[in-house]
A and B are shown apart, each in its own frame.
Chain A
Amino acid sequence: MSDICEETLGVGLLCEGQHDPGTPPAGLRRAPSGVDGLTTEHLIINMGPQHPSTHGVLRMIVEVDGEEIVAAEVSVGYLHRGIEKLAEHRRYDAVGTLMDRGDYVSGMMGELAFALAAEQLMDVEVPRKAHWLRSLASELNRLASHLVWYGTFGLDTGAMGQFLYAMREREALLDILEALSGQRMMFNYIRPGGVVADMPTGLAEKIRTFLSTFDMYLDEYDQLLGGNEIFQARVKGIGVIDRQMALAFGLTGANLRAAGVDFDIRKARPYAAYPELDFEVPLGSTGDAWDRYTVRMAEMRQSARMISQLIDGMPEGEHTAKVPRIIRPKAGEVYASVESSRGETGIHLLSDGTEHPYRMHYRGPSLYAAQALEEILPGHLIADVVMIIGSTDIMLGELDR
Chain B
Amino acid sequence: MLPATADIERILAGIDGVQIAEEILGTVARVELAFVPDALGALKAAGYESLVDFDGTDTGEAIEITYRLRSYAADREVFVKATVAYGGTIESVWFDYPSALMPERETAELFGIHLAGHPNPKRLLTSDGVEPLLRKDVLIRTVEEVKAR
Q: Are B49 and A247 in touch, CB under 8 angstroms?
A: yes
Q: Are B124 and A247 in touch, CB under 8 angstroms?
A: no
Q: Are A363 and B52 in touch, CB under 8 angstroms?
A: yes
Which of A77, A261, A359, A401 has a CB less than 8 Å from the CB of B72?
A: A261
A50-81 toward B: CB 8 Å interface, digit per residue (1/0)?
Answer: 00000000000000000000000110110010
- Tell me the count of chain B residues lying within 8 A, CB to CB, of chain A: 35
Residues in A with CB closer than 8 Å to B53 are 250, 346, 348, 361, 363
Q: Are B75 and A268 in touch, CB under 8 angstroms?
A: yes
Q: Are B125 and A80 in touch, CB under 8 angstroms?
A: yes
Which of A80, A250, A375 has a CB less than 8 Å from the CB of B126?
A: A80
CB interface residues, A 113-139, toward B, < 8 Å: 120-121
Residues in B with CB closer than 8 Å to A368 are 52, 99, 102
Q: Closest CB-CB distance, A263 to chain B, in whole Å? A: 6
Stretch at the interface among A8-16, A40-48, A219-227, A330-338: A330-338
CB interface residues, A 129-175, toward B, < 8 Å: none
Does B6 touch A at the CB level, under 8 Å?
A: no
Give A84 to B24 CA distance when docked, in angstroms. 21
Which of B25, B68, B125 has a CB less than 8 Å from the CB of A77?
A: B125
Known: A85-B133, A261-B72. A333 touches B23 (CB 8 A): yes
Q: Are B133 and A82 in touch, CB under 8 angstroms?
A: yes
Give A361 to B133 CA distance when docked, in angstroms. 13
Which of A85, A268, A332, A371 has a CB less than 8 Å from the CB of B140?
A: A85
Q: Closest CB-CB distance, B132 to chain A, in whole Å? A: 10
Give A372 to B126 CA distance when docked, in angstroms. 21
Q: Are A350 and B57 in touch, CB under 8 angstroms?
A: yes
CB interface residues, B 21-41, toward A, < 8 Å: 23-26
**Chain A interface helix/strand/loop/mixed:** mixed
User: Which of A84, A249, A250 has the most chain B CB atoms closer than 10 A to its own CB?
Assistant: A250
Give A261 to B51 CA distance when docked, in angstroms. 15
Q: Are A367 and B102 in touch, CB under 8 angstroms?
A: yes
CB interface residues, B 101-134, toward A, < 8 Å: 101-103, 110, 120, 123-127, 133-134
Give A83 to B101 CA distance when docked, in angstroms. 21
Q: Are A400 and B125 in touch, CB under 8 angstroms?
A: yes
Residues in B with CB closer than 8 Å to A84 are 110, 134
User: Chain A interface: which size bin?
Assistant: 35 or more
Q: Are B50 and A248 in touch, CB under 8 angstroms?
A: yes
Residues in B with CB closer than 8 Å to A363 are 52-53, 55
Known: A268-B75, A333-B25, A361-B55. A248 touches B1 (CB 8 A): no
Residues in A with CB closer than 8 Å to B57 are 350, 358-359, 361
Q: Are A86 and B98 in touch, CB under 8 angstroms?
A: no
Known: A82-B140, A89-B140. A334 touches B24 (CB 8 A): yes
Give A73 to B119 CA distance when docked, in angstroms. 12
Give A336 to B57 CA distance when docked, in angstroms. 17
Which chain B residue lies CB-closest to A365?
Answer: B52
Q: Closest CB-CB distance, B148 to chain A, in whole Å? A: 16
Known: A333-B24, A346-B53, A363-B53. A375 touches B68 (CB 8 A): no
* 19 cross-chain CB contacts under 8 A: A73-B120, A77-B126, A85-B140, A89-B140, A249-B98, A250-B97, A269-B1, A333-B24, A335-B68, A335-B79, A344-B52, A348-B53, A358-B57, A361-B53, A361-B55, A363-B52, A367-B102, A367-B103, A370-B102
